Structure 1
Amino acid sequence: MNYKIAFKKSVSRDLKKLGKDQAERILKEIEEKLPEKADTFPPLKGKFTGLRKFRVGNYRVIYAIIEGIAIIHRISQPHRCIKNMANRVR
């Protein structure tokens, strides 16, 4: 299936915290991999059921698939990725 990609507004803050090169690299990986393979990356568990994670280097992209759209919720390093995630998702 070919998924469309959408970003929550809060993701722009995540990208601003990264260097320009790193942000461009992550966005390129998202554009290349998620449209075709969004449903193949591992799902999260517990209170984040329904979300999936996708690794790009040392960063994690957290997203949900809703009606054929992969909605990016967060881009961060793993040790910071889940912190405050509940505020962005629900």
Structure 2
Amino acid sequence: MTTISYSKDALKTLKRMPRPDAQRIQRKISAYAEDPTAQRNNVKALVGSEYIRLRVGDWRVIMDDRGTVLLVLKIGARGDVYR
């Protein structure tokens, strides 16, 4: 079982976004934590980094998958999250 951990920045973003979007993102993160191969089309490795990104509609989730711990680092809109 993979443990999901959120950074302060990610939690802050989740609280500020519309509730349906936040719930959808949390469902996708949980689905990825249970079976990383299920979200294969929406998950990519970031170039020049050990992090991965999960695509959820117009939102992007930057994560660090350490095997037993999935650390959600940043959540943001498509154009802003990579800055």
2: distance between equivalents of 1:74 and 1:64? 10
* Residue 67 (structure 1) shift: 4.6
Residue aligning to 1:45: 47
Tell me how large the CA RMSD over aligned residues is.
Answer: 1.7
TM-score (norm 2): 0.81
For the residue of structure 2 that corresponds to 1:21, the secondary structure is: helix
Residue aligning to 1:59: 59
Percent identity, aligned pairs only, is 22
1: distance between equivalents of 2:29 and 2:2? 11
Kindly indicate which of the two structures has a greater share of residues assigned to helix: 1
Q: Does structure 2 retain, via aligned residues, the 8 Å contact 1:4–1:69? A: yes
* Residue 66 (structure 1) shift: 2.2
* Residue 81 (structure 1) shift: 0.4
Residue aligning to 1:32: 31
Count of aligned positions:
79
2: distance between equivalents of 1:12 and 1:28? 15
1: distance between equivalents of 2:69 and 2:55? 19
Instruction: Name stretches of at least 5 consecutive residues in structure 2 with no aligned partner.
Output: none
Instruction: Name stretches of at least 5 consecutive residues in structure 1 with no aligned partner.
Output: 84-90
TM-score (norm 1): 0.75
Residue aligning to 2:21: 22
* Residue 4 (structure 1) shift: 2.2
1: distance between equivalents of 2:81 and 2:59? 8
